[in-house]
Amino acid sequence: MPIVKIDGKEIEVPAGITILQACELAGVEIPRFCYHERLSIAGNCRMCLVEVKPGPPKPQASCAMPVADKQEIITNSAVVKKARNGVMEFLLINHPLDCPICDQGGECDLQDQAMAYGFDRSRYHENKRAVPDKELGPLVKTSMNRCIQCTRCVRFAAEVAGVEELGATGRGEGMEITTYVQHALTTELSGNLVDICPVGALTSKPYAYEARPWEMRKTESVDVFDALGSAIRVDVRGNVVMRVLPRLNDDVNEEWISDKTRHAIDGLRYQRLDRPYVRKGGKLAEATWDEAFAAIAAKLNGLDGKKIAAIAGDQCDAESMVALKDLMAALGSPNVDCRQDGSKLEAGARGGYIFNAGIRGIDQADAILLVGSNPRLESPVLNARIRKRYLRGRCAIASIGAPVDLTYPVERLGAGAATLRDLAEGKGSFAEKWKAAKNPLVIVGPGALAREDGAAVLALARSLATVRDDWNGFAVLHTAASRVGGLDLGLVPGAGGRDVAAIQAGAQGKEIEAVFLLAADELDLSKFGKAFVVYIGHHGDAGAHRADVILPGAAYTEKPGTYVNMEGRVQLGQRAAYPPGDAREDWAILRALSERLGKTLPYDTLDQVRARLIAVNKSFAALDTQAPGLWVEFGKAGDVTDAPFETPIKNFYMTDPISRASRTMAECMASRQQQMPVAAE
């Protein structure tokens, strides 16, 4: 490995990295604008100049120059300082002095670096150039006068998001970053453009003029809008969530988050349940906690446990789910289900329902088969990871399901389960590629499992998976943040219990008389017949409209909660704000209710609930680790129909109570529909 001398200190660095990266290893900070770790190298801002010996007798752009053995790199000489000052002066020639009204103020790379390299006055007396603002959709606000043409956004759109729609037109002083034909970017990752823009040219439209970074309390948490469990930071002013930003987590989301994760948060302000309600004479009336509990107790008293059922929703924390499970057990009900989409996953061994290879496993896969999955809608950041794998080359990617644009080429084998059966029997040309692959990865999406023959599809997919000590190529792609946690906790029908469909069927007659919905809204709520429905959740969505008693809970930003992502990684979400009005944390509601019903749950504090989680499933003890699950038989061999696989997500921007209440998401949807009048999705 090359040994280089950086500012007089010798250091050994890996071969093939750039001088800028070597300097970072040596702990020397190099200013930069266009260089970004996860994008290709452009080398056009010239801010990262250093002296290199031996080399040309002028400062070199360190981001674009590879290290070589016995190189001497000087980053702190007068020459370097003067060169960077010069670059900065040129960059500021056309940059407006509008920091006081710029949303990037306080977290602006240009502002920060101008403190170190800026000249204290301007020597430029000509007019600054004026650039028309561009229309990039409802999430990205542009102020193109501020643009310094680093082209990070162009590279992000082309490389990570996979939509080549941004470009740099014109030349010289006339160069502009634009879509040329003005339109919103057709990507689910456009919010990240705002993060990678080093200046205030691209800022967040919904957050425009809302807050300053230093006014907000920052809380590190976990995302619940899809099952990826992206690392996020929640910024709160007062008790209002102002914005959500990604945190770095190379194992999960790298440093991207989807537009829904970032911008659905305004839904937390609307349609909130802030007090209990009880249905009286056919209408929901405000009530106190006491009255609400009394109404539930009156219904449940003396009711046979078998006539009670509970369904957990898609965004529940593990704490509330374990409390629900324990309460149902205490009431003698085996009718518990956390799979409101009707998926045929089994709770048993973990290997059968998690993304065994891990998100990082995608990087090692050399053949990927998507079964009934549209990752672009089901988990956009994971889709970007698959695209990253595609860009590295030598990876065959095929799909069975609806024809969709995933931002990378996919060989479409067929529409439904029959194609999967043929593949499992070794028919077709892709079967040979599959056999030849060392690390094949079969990704089974919700569209393949939430159907009658789901168990048979699961068994077929299992037969295609390669499992070794160092590789488990079976992966389930979930859409619900709570699903793996729910299955870990065993929120599936007990002996003689009913699943969601059977609960609904039972509710038509007299077999099911009371149903608990724990933030479960993505169901056909008209199918609960005359059952007494208790809704515990945070939004006045479908579930609350059907409910007979509403108990107001907390949304994910308002409670400390444990979430298990699709790869089985246990992560802690933190409380960033407090729930509105009388609303409480969900597990505490269930605990209080259990006391009222005379079946007191044996925990009073969050720590005790978490101890209970570990008692139910040891996997909750290991935070933020990922390993393949136990590999046993699962699924049920059987006939499959050739009905096409369909992704359950018809509308990416509205999948859950929070995003359905969000005005920003409504705008995104309208903008997308305008672009694609005949939307394929």
Partner 1 sequence: MAMITADPQDVPKVESFSFTPESMAKVNALIANYPPGRQASAVIGVLDLAQRQQGWLPRVAMDEVARILEMAPIRVYEIATFYTMFQLKPKGRYLLQVCTTTPCWLRGSDHVMKACQEAADGVTFSVQEVECLGACVNAPVVQINDDFYEDLDAASTRRVLDAFRRGETPAPGPQVNRQTSAPEGGPLTLKGE
By beta-carbon proximity to partner 1, the closer residue of 40 and 508 is: 40
The count of chain residues that interact with partner 1, using the rule CB under 8 A, is 18
- Shortest approach of partner 1 to residue 169 CB, angstroms? 4
- Distances 144 to 148, 173, 191, 474 between C-alpha atoms, Å: 9, 13, 17, 46
- Shortest approach of partner 1 to residue 434 CB, angstroms? 25
Touching partner 1, residues 151-170 (CB under 8 A): 158, 164-170
Member of 72, 109, 176, 405 binding partner 1 (CB under 8 A): 176
Which one, of 535, 531, 515, 505, lies nearest residue 657 by Cα?
535
- Shortest approach of partner 1 to residue 433 CB, angstroms? 20
Check whether the bond before 54 is cis (ω within 30° of 0).
Answer: yes
Touching partner 1, residues 457-496 (CB under 8 A): none
- Shortest approach of partner 1 to residue 163 CB, angstroms? 8
The full 3-state SS of 97-160, as one line of letters, equals CCHHHCCCCCCCHHHHHHHHHCCCCCCCCCCCCCCCCCCCCCCEEECHHHCCCCCHHHHHHHHH
CA distance 308 to 331: 8
Task: Please list, residue by residue across 290-317, b when 16 or more beta carbons sit within 10 angstroms of its beta carbon and e when fewer do.
Answer: ebbbebbeebbeeeebbbbbbbbbbbbb
Q: Where are the alpha helices (DSSP H) in 407-468?
A: 417-424, 429-436, 446-449, 454-464
By beta-carbon proximity to partner 1, the closer residue of 129 and 435 is: 129
CA distance 36 to 156: 10
- Shortest approach of partner 1 to residue 182 CB, angstroms? 7
Q: Assign 178 to helix, strand or coil.
A: strand
Binding piece for partner 1, criterion CB under 8 A, among 63-71, 175-183, 372-380, 481-489: 175-183
Touching partner 1, residues 104-133 (CB under 8 A): 132
- Distances 660 to 53, 245, 542, 665, 667 between C-alpha atoms, Å: 59, 20, 10, 7, 11
By beta-carbon proximity to partner 1, the closer residue of 154 and 476 is: 154
By beta-carbon proximity to partner 1, the closer residue of 41 and 175 is: 175
By beta-carbon proximity to partner 1, the closer residue of 106 and 132 is: 132
- Shortest approach of partner 1 to residue 178 CB, angstroms? 6
CA distance 459 to 339: 18
Member of 181, 495, 678, 680 binding partner 1 (CB under 8 A): 181
- Shortest approach of partner 1 to residue 184 CB, angstroms? 14
User: Counting contacts by CB under 8 A, is residue 78 touching partner 1?
Assistant: no
Q: Is 433 exposed, middle or buried (0-12, 13-18, 19+ CB in 10 A)?
A: middle
Distance of CA 513 to the CA centre of its chain: 37
Touching partner 1, residues 37-56 (CB under 8 A): none
By beta-carbon proximity to partner 1, the closer residue of 164 and 290 is: 164
Binding piece for partner 1, criterion CB under 8 A, among 119-127, 173-181, 364-372, 494-502: 173-181
By beta-carbon proximity to partner 1, the closer residue of 166 and 554 is: 166
Member of 90, 124, 180, 209 binding partner 1 (CB under 8 A): 180
Residue 327: both structure tokens together: 């309460």
By beta-carbon proximity to partner 1, the closer residue of 135 and 291 is: 135
By beta-carbon proximity to partner 1, the closer residue of 158 and 502 is: 158
Which one, of 514, 631, 627, lies nearest residue 251 by Cα?
627
Find the angle CA(144)-CA(147)-CA(152) to the nearest 5 degrees. 120
By beta-carbon proximity to partner 1, the closer residue of 24 and 135 is: 135
C-alpha torsion sign, points 40, 41, 47, 51? positive
Give the interface with partner 1 as residue ranges (CB under 8 A): 132, 158, 164-171, 174-176, 178-182
